[in-house]
Amino acid sequence: MSHASLSDKRPGSSLRGATLPKWFPWATAAGSIVLGIGISAVAGLDSDIQWGLIAAILFVLGSYAIAAKVEGRRQAKDRVATSLVWVAFILAVVPLASLIWETVRRGVKVLDGYFLTHSMGIVGDKEPGGGIYHAIIGTLEQVGLAALISVPIGVLTAIYLVEYGRGKLAKAVTFFVDVMTGIPSIVAGLFILSLWIITFGMGYSGFAGSMALTILMLPVVVRSTEEMLKLVPNELREASLALGVPKWRTILKVVLPTSIGGITTGVMLAIARIAGETAPVLLLVWVTPLINTNPFSDPQASLPVYIYLQYANSGGAGAAYDRAWAAALVLIAFIMILNMAARGIARWKAPKTGR
């Protein structure tokens, strides 16, 4: 076999078949959308979802039929798989994009400096004005406390499981972490309620909420840290041990620095997950329209509960309704910032190749 015969473009070569042009998928997509709209108009369907679905089905079937005719069955199947992936992608992105769009559109109405720096202390339920300052303070403190408790415990647990854990105790810990992962947030809330508030007779406080959030956050931190530690190659541990470095120092100076980016990402995502928890916070922190900066006594506000109450009071319109959306926008922005910070840290701390 010489190279010449491979690059030979004679027709009928078994290596090349008929191919559809590059713009074929786009044309099919455009055609399906036009047809979809047309069919809905004729049939008198007026929902966006209906014509969207019709267009999606036409797109998949159309690509298959045309490709099967021109390119053959194998290529047609390939195109069907590709178009299914695209349809699934759009199905996933549309709700997400529309969620953000709706929140931004409705939220920006009252979102301004005043809204971010004032509480609801002197504002009636349905009156305009007021803000979320007290709720931001509450959420930051509750989530911050929960993170302060669960990050050290979670990371140490993961280190134990990956670096030391053998035998029964490790198995038991893994089992409990698994069980904790599955605890519904309301159950975590009820557990702390019965223990802390009913049995011990403590009052509502931000800290009580933090404890429930800790229960939710801890297994996530353990799990993600475990995964990151397992990714650290054993060779690095051995290299360090072979230099006569004790095991605990090896973990501290070699294993953790290598995985710190991933661990931070996991922690940030866990924080993002608990920041939106409503049920346990409502049970344990209760709510107040006033600014309470002390998380250890008396009810505090928080963003999720604020959103819920504003919406519940609004009857679907008016000042309270707008405040609910603005607070939702702030919560989403907070979580997005955390996510981006996590990505930034992961990239910044990732082991460098330097090439």
- If one asks whether residue 164 binds other proteins (CB under 8 A), the answer comes out as no
- If one asks whether residue 275 binds other proteins (CB under 8 A), the answer comes out as no
Q: Quick one: 258 or 302, whose CB is closer to other proteins?
A: 258
**Please, what's the b/e burial string for 331-355 (b: 16 or more CB within 10 A of its CB; e: otherwise)?**
bbebbeebeeebeebbeebeeeeee
Applying CB under 8 A, the span of 103-111, 156-164, 299-307, 347-355 interacting with other proteins comes to 347-355
Report, in Å, the least distance between residue 341 CB and other proteins.
20
Distance, CA of 124 to chain centre: 34
Residue pair 138/206 in contact (Cβ under 8 Å)? The answer is yes
Handedness of CA 224, 225, 230, 231 (dihedral sign): positive
Report, in Å, the least distance between residue 279 CB and other proteins.
41
- If one asks whether residue 238 binds other proteins (CB under 8 A), the answer comes out as yes
- If one asks whether residue 167 binds other proteins (CB under 8 A), the answer comes out as no
Residue pair 185/279 in contact (Cβ under 8 Å)? The answer is yes
Q: Quick one: 89 or 248, whose CB is closer to other proteins?
A: 248
Q: Quick one: 107 or 165, whose CB is closer to other proteins?
A: 165
Phi first, then psi, for residue 205 (nearest 5°) are -165, 160
Phi first, then psi, for residue 290 (nearest 5°) are -100, 160
Report, in Å, the least distance between residue 353 CB and other proteins.
6
- If one asks whether residue 351 binds other proteins (CB under 8 A), the answer comes out as yes
- If one asks whether residue 233 binds other proteins (CB under 8 A), the answer comes out as yes
- If one asks whether residue 184 binds other proteins (CB under 8 A), the answer comes out as no
Report, in Å, the least distance between residue 228 CB and other proteins.
13
Q: What DSSP string runs through 115-128?
A: HHH--STT--TTSS
- If one asks whether residue 225 binds other proteins (CB under 8 A), the answer comes out as no
Binding mask 239-258 for other proteins (x = CB under 8 A): xxxxxxxx--xx--xx--xx
Distance in angstroms (rounded) separating the CA atoms of residues 175 and 80: 42
Q: Quick one: 49 or 242, whose CB is closer to other proteins?
A: 242
- The identity of residue 139, as a single letter, is T
- If one asks whether residue 235 binds other proteins (CB under 8 A), the answer comes out as yes
Report, in Å, the least distance between residue 240 CB and other proteins.
7
Residue pair 221/270 in contact (Cβ under 8 Å)? The answer is yes
Report, in Å, the least distance between residue 349 CB and other proteins.
8
Q: What DSSP string runs through 224-272?
A: HHHHHHHHS-HHHHHHHHHTT--HHHHIIIIIHHHHHHHHHHHHHHHHH
Residue 83 DSSP symbol:
H
Binding site for other proteins (CB under 8 A): 166, 233, 235-246, 249-250, 253-254, 257-258, 351-355
